[in-house]
Amino acid sequence: MSMEAVTHAVNVRLGDDRNSVVILDQTLLPNETRYLTLSTAEELWQAIYLLQVRGAPAIGIFAGYSMAVLARNIEAEDFASFRAEYFRLSAYLNSSRPTAVNLAHMLKRMEKVVDAHSEAPRAELIEALFTEAKAIHDEDIAMCRKISEYGLSLLKDGDGVITHCNAGPIATSRYGTAQGPFYLAKEKGMDIHVFVDETRPLLQGARLTSYELTKAGVDCTLICDNMASIVMKQGKVQAVFFGCDRIARNGDVANKIGSSGLAVLAHYYGIPVYSLGPSTTIDFNCPSGDHIPIEERPHSEIKELFYEKPMALPETKCYNPAFDVTDHTLLTGIVTERGIAYAPFEESFRKLFPEEMAK
C-alpha cells in the first residue's frame, strides 16, 4: 500500500509581526488565491461575516489569534479597564456568526486566560493569550487527524461517499473533519470516490471542496444539490459524510443548509449518514436542535451572487437560512476525536466526554 503525502493549504495563521492575522480569502476561490492581513476589530469581524474565513473550527482558530492581536493593542491603565475593553471586543467578534459554536467556545476560552492573569504583568497576560491561541490551533490539528482516522474506519476500498458544503483543511486545519478521511485514504492508497454537492447558494462544495480534493488528487465528481438522489438510487453512494457547526446534546446537528435534506434522502435509500466534527462543536448545554439559532443571510445571495445578471425580480421574496438541523434519528453516527458516538447520542457523549456531560 503506497503512502503519498497530501498538501494542505494554510488558511489561518498569526502574522509574522504578531500584530495581525493572515487568512486565505475563501470568497475568491477557486479562481484566485489571495491572503489577507487583518488587524482591526472591524476587519476581523467582517472576515467572519463575509465568509472570508469560514468553517466552524477555522473560525475558532481565527478567533483565538484575533483576540490575542486585539489584546496587544488595548490601551488601559489597570486590569479592570483592560478586561472591560477585552470583553467588549470579544462580544463584538462573537456577534459575527451566531450558529457556529466554536466561535463562542474559543472566545470564552481566551476570556478565561484574561481572568486567570488578573494579577500578572500586562506583558505576561498578552503572552499567555498568544500561547493559548497557538494551543487552540495545535489541538485542532490533532483532533482532525483523529477524526480522519475514525472516519476512514467506516469506509472500505471502492466506496463512494457524498459530502455537503466544505469541511476540509481550509475550514479547519490539517486534513479537515468530514473531508479528512478522503485525504487519509489517498495517503494510504485506498480507492474512495467522492461526490461533492455544489451546496447552494454560496457554492462551498463547488468552489472549495472540489478545489481542495482535486488539488490533492482525490477522485471526486461535482454534482448539483438536486442530483444527490439519483446517484444514491444508482448505487454509487455507500455513505454520507458532512461536517457540523453545532451539535446538540441529543445528537441533533446544525450544518450547512441542505444537510438535513441529504440525510432524509440517505435514510430513504438505506445509506448510513455520519456527521464528523471535533468535540468543540458539541454544545453540551444545548438540549436539542430546537435551541440552536439559525443565521439568516441576505437575499442577494440567492438572487444575484455568482450570476452575471439577477436571476429573480427585485421584489421577489426570498428565504435564506444559512443552516438547517439534521434530526438525530437520521444520523448513523457522530465521529469525534475520541471515537464514534452512536444512538442514543446523549449516552454516547456521556461515555466519550464524561467531564463535559457532568458540568
Active site residues: 245
Strands (E), 198-272: 220-223, 239-242, 246-247, 253-256
Q: Map residue 36 onto helix, strand or coil.
A: strand
CA distance 211 to 215: 6
Grid cell 435551541 — which residue?
291
- Residue 89: which H helix or E strand, with range? helix 79-94
List, edge to edge, every strand of the sheet that includes 333-336. Answer: 220-223, 193-197, 160-163, 239-242, 273-276, 333-336, 339-341
Residue 196 carries which side chain, given as an amino acid letter?
V
Alpha carbons 15 and 353: distance in angstroms, whole number:
34
CB 63 within 8 A of CB 45: no
Distance, CA of 119 to CA of 128 (rounded, Å): 13
Strand bridging mode 160-163 / 273-276: unpaired
Peptide bond between residue 287 and the one before it cis (omega within 30 degrees of 0): no
Radius of gyration (Cα) for the chain, nearest Å?
Answer: 20
Query: Could you write out the DSSP letters of every residue in 333-349?
Result: EEEETTEEE-SSHHHHH
